[in-house]
Structure 1
Amino acid sequence: MPATTVVTTTPGGTGDDVALAFERFLQSFEIFKQENDDKIRAIQRTMSEDVVTTEKIDRINQALDEQKALVDRLTLKGARPRLSLSPHYTSGAFLQHKAAFDGYMRRGETAGLHTLEQKALSINSDPDGGYLVPPETEAAVLRGVKEISPIRAIAGNRTVSASVYKKPFSITGPATGWVAETATRPETNSPTLAELTFPTMEIYAMPSATQSLLDDSAVNIDEWLAEEIQIAFASQEGAAFVNGDGNNKPKGFLDYTKVANGSWAWDKIGYVATGTDGAFDASHPSDDLIDFIYTLKSDYRANANWVMNRATQATIRKFKDADGNYLWQPPERADLSPTLMNYPIAESEDMPDIASDSFSVAFGDFGRGYLVVDRAGIRVLRDPFSAKPYVLFYTTKRVGGGVQDFDAIKLLKFGTS
């Protein structure tokens, strides 16, 4: 039936492809709402579920997820990195670096890059560790990773030159008060400061190319490299920002100590329980989400995002408010996120499925709550020997991450307490 038919043509990433896929996605959601409403009315009449209708809704729900995934893929294809030489990147030094890097990638010529990095007093310019990519290539990689990685897209971002970023943070804030114009100013208490440390860890990708591709002057090597490594970097980062243990990788927000929100304290992540083991409340599931939203302080809610995976969205998609309106709403455009109770959803497949005592939904201002730290510079080491006749490009960058404001992120626990 049309609602469960997923576009099967080869995606090309054109505007027409995106528009068609997005239109079918919206049509499927309308059919889903109609079928789910019919199911609810049937249950109210007979006090029992129709198995056929339930299976039908599940198929439509699955098709919605598949069609949204297709829309996402087409949108990303339409946003591939394009390296244009902006005025910032047209100086002699930048163009010289670009030309030298092209020679290194295509033919293995190192003299130009080695001389440039020695002039710039580059740290670790030893050729055994590779050479820095041109700045516009690095910028394209980071833009592409941000578009793909759901957590990086909503988190705070900082670029540093050192291997560790240290940030002082005020836990209590300075004492303040009202005073008359001519009255003596009493001494205020000092704020309580904590130092947060964000070490950067090395992440790598190793794309390969044939020598014929490298010899083809029509191929933009910078764009090729950016496309090849951004997906690999985004996948690894996305998993670490959610579940990373901080050992040679960033520390994910789910790896911190979690406490019931009523007992929240600095350096811990607060959570609210649904009261039902492994599920939402059976009779009023939307109440769990409403209560959950208001555990977050008002100054964080203005820029808050939901974080969950597609399976959790499929469950929530059936929920309505007291007026019969669906809480989950599709995006207004293909390049936007769906919303839940007017807050955008960041889809992260690294979030756990709903299960007993799982923390499957996060909500908060991740721009203030989670910090991604990039060390400036992406390095490439050309290896034409290990996998002949292919040329390998061992590409590394350093990235760290962790919670910087523990009050800005809350978790929903699918358990009784």
Structure 2
Amino acid sequence: MTSDVITEEKLTRIDRALDETKSRLDRFALESARPRLGGGVKTDHVEREHKTAFGLYMRAGEAGGLKAIEQKAMSRGSGPDGGYLVPVPAEREILRRMSTVSPIRAIANVVEISGQSLKRAISTTGPASGWVAETDPRPQSTNQQIADLTFPAMELYAMPAATQTLLDDAVVDIEQWIADEVAVVFAEQEGAAFVSGDGVNKPKGFLAYTTTPQATWSHGNIGYVATGVSANFPASNPSDLLYDLVYALKAGFRQNARFVVNRKTQAAIRKFKTSTGEYIWEPPATLGAQATLMNFPVVEAEDMPDIAANALALAFGDFERGYVVVDRVGVRVLRDPYSAKPYVLFYTTKRVGGGVQNFDAIKLLKFGVS
């Protein structure tokens, strides 16, 4: 008899808890469906609800709230291994931190998508244009060539681990913790890919494309200027090569152009002087500003190669027009409390793509004879 009473009490408590959960979800659904009276009231409410549900999932593995939110938002299901979307503020924080660590992301054209890839039609001969009177017929172009470029978003992952003690600590901001753990890792991985990634399950870096001497440049290739010396600058007037590189770029691209090098190459270049003894490299003028080389900003990217035989160790161009970074909206987290006991793993994924979108906007300096 005692056993039956205990069982009935347990069932009663379970039923009560389920009723309360259903009541909260129904109330949330009703409030979400109400007309918006103020600018951000509904959005703020949804974000708070998402934050609460995300915290429960991260700390205790309770996914019911997140499932309800994603279903209500008509989100494509997470699938058995896809995890759940982190709240929008946490995603924004991750992207903000990635931009501060990933130098190419900071200067490229960043496009958000909701699908699998970004597709663009690029005119390789320039769009048809001309002058006509108001009533004149518009002639059709017979020599315009169009190229289709596709930039797929590939999966980038990180798997931070946490102790249950940390997760149980109510003072710990769990969204801040996940942003701290994955942002730098994501940025380092994508930073390398944007420079030299081969495009196989990762973005294609601008150094991975076919290169050709600037004199024979054509669409689909990246043009370069050779130093004429293997693994070095020429002994006399080495800075002249930088002028050749700058003016290999069309004037329209030079307005927003910058040099991209690693710290070793920058250390070599900053010693160059003009014929009057002035350094062509100048330190940042103010706090937070960039160093300049011949009045163009210098971006330090550690993933650029060192000076070596035939290395493409220096880039110059308008990267905002030349390189595109594709962000698929959403960062997802899957909680795994089993694989690394006593730790809890958080399989965190983001889809990122990238590639050259204008082959005339980026030029390279090749440390080779030709």
Q: The TM-score by the shorter chain falls in which range?
A: 0.7 to 0.9
SS at 2:347 equivalent: strand
CA distance in structure 2 between the partners assigned to 1:238 and 1:385 by the alignment: 32
- 1:91 corresponding residue in structure 2: 44
The 5 A counterparts of 1:299-314 are 299-314=252-267
Shift of residue 99, structure 1, vs aligned partner: 0.7
Q: Is the 8 A contact 1:174 1:188 kept in 2?
A: no
SS at 2:207 equivalent: helix
- 1:405 corresponding residue in structure 2: 358
CA distance in structure 2 between the partners assigned to 1:243 and 1:88 by the alignment: 45
Q: Is the 8 A contact 2:318 2:362 kept in 1?
A: yes
SS at 2:81 equivalent: helix
Shift of residue 401, structure 1, vs aligned partner: 0.3
CA distance in structure 2 between the partners assigned to 1:328 and 1:385 by the alignment: 54
1:215 is aligned to 2:162: no
CA distance in structure 2 between the partners assigned to 1:223 and 1:87 by the alignment: 23
- 2:141 corresponding residue in structure 1: 189
CA distance in structure 1 between the partners assigned to 2:294 and 2:40 by the alignment: 43
Q: Is the 8 A contact 2:239 2:273 kept in 1?
A: yes
CA distance in structure 1 between the partners assigned to 2:309 and 2:42 by the alignment: 53
Shift of residue 251, structure 1, vs aligned partner: 0.4
Q: Which amino acid aligns with 1:222?
A: E
Shift of residue 225, structure 1, vs aligned partner: 0.7
CA distance in structure 2 between the partners assigned to 1:237 and 1:176 by the alignment: 38
Alpha-carbon displacement from aligned partner over 1:341-393 (angstroms, at most 9, x marks no partner): 11111111111111111100000000000000011110001111111111111
The match for 2:347 among 372, 383, 394 is 394
Q: Is the 8 A contact 1:89 1:95 kept in 2?
A: no
Shift of residue 172, structure 1, vs aligned partner: 1.5
Query: Structure 1's 87 and 323: CA in aligned 2 closer, same or farther, altered over 3 A?
Result: farther
CA distance in structure 2 between the partners assigned to 1:249 and 1:308 by the alignment: 22
CA distance in structure 1 between the partners assigned to 2:264 and 2:319 by the alignment: 22
CA distance in structure 1 between the partners assigned to 2:80 and 2:288 by the alignment: 41
Alpha-carbon displacement from aligned partner over 1:208-256 (angstroms, at most 9, x marks no partner): 1111111111111111111110000001001100110000000000000
Q: Which amino acid aligns with 2:66?
A: L
- 2:336 corresponding residue in structure 1: 383
Q: Is the 8 A contact 2:59 2:168 kept in 1?
A: yes
Alpha-carbon displacement from aligned partner over 1:97-118 (angstroms, at most 9, x marks no partner): 1110011111111110011112
Q: Which amino acid aligns with 1:187?
A: P
Alpha-carbon displacement from aligned partner over 1:166-223 (angstroms, at most 9, x marks no partner): 01112122333334567x4461415322111001100000111111111111111111
The 5 A counterparts of 1:28-47 are none
Query: Structure 1's 88 and 295: CA in aligned 2 closer, same or farther, altered over 3 A?
Result: farther
Q: Which of 261-270 and 184-193 deviates more? A: 184-193
- 2:67 corresponding residue in structure 1: 114
Q: Which amino acid aligns with 2:227?
A: T
CA distance in structure 2 between the partners assigned to 1:150 and 1:319 by the alignment: 24
Q: Which amino acid aligns with 1:292?
A: L
Contiguous gaps of at least 5 residues in structure 1: 1-85
- 1:332 corresponding residue in structure 2: 285
Query: Structure 1's 261 and 117: CA in aligned 2 closer, same or farther, altered over 3 A?
Result: same
The 5 A counterparts of 1:10-21 are none
Q: Which amino acid aligns with 1:204?
A: Y
The match for 1:319 among 265, 272, 290 is 272
CA distance in structure 2 between the partners assigned to 1:280 and 1:89 by the alignment: 61
CA distance in structure 1 between the partners assigned to 2:42 and 2:342 by the alignment: 34
Q: Which amino acid aligns with 2:220?
A: D
Q: Which amino acid aligns with 1:154?
A: I
Shift of residue 332, structure 1, vs aligned partner: 2.2
The match for 2:212 among 245, 253, 259 is 259
Shift of residue 90, structure 1, vs aligned partner: 5.1
Q: Is the 8 A contact 2:313 2:367 kept in 1?
A: yes
Contiguous gaps of at least 5 residues in structure 2: 1-38
The 5 A counterparts of 1:150-165 are 150-165=103-118
TM-score with structure 2 setting the length: 0.86
More contact order relative to length (CA 8 Å, sep ≥ 6): 2
Shift of residue 268, structure 1, vs aligned partner: 0.5
The match for 1:363 among 309, 316, 330 is 316
The 5 A counterparts of 1:121-270 are 121-179=74-132, 184-185=136-137, 187-189=139-141, 191-270=144-223
Q: Is the 8 A contact 1:89 1:136 kept in 2?
A: no
CA distance in structure 2 between the partners assigned to 1:306 and 1:89 by the alignment: 45
Instruction: Determine which structure has more spread, i.e. the larger CA radius of gyration.
Output: 2
Q: Which amino acid aligns with 1:330?
A: P
The match for 1:287 among 208, 227, 240 is 240
Q: Which amino acid aligns with 1:319?
A: F
When the two chains are superposed, the root-mean-square deviation of aligned CA atoms in Å is 1.7
TM-score with structure 1 setting the length: 0.77
CA distance in structure 1 between the partners assigned to 2:296 and 2:138 by the alignment: 43
Q: Is the 8 A contact 1:331 1:339 kept in 2?
A: yes
CA distance in structure 2 between the partners assigned to 1:128 and 1:247 by the alignment: 22
Shift of residue 322, structure 1, vs aligned partner: 2.4
Q: Which amino acid aligns with 2:77?
A: N
Query: Structure 1's 177 and 165: CA in aligned 2 closer, same or farther, altered over 3 A?
Result: closer
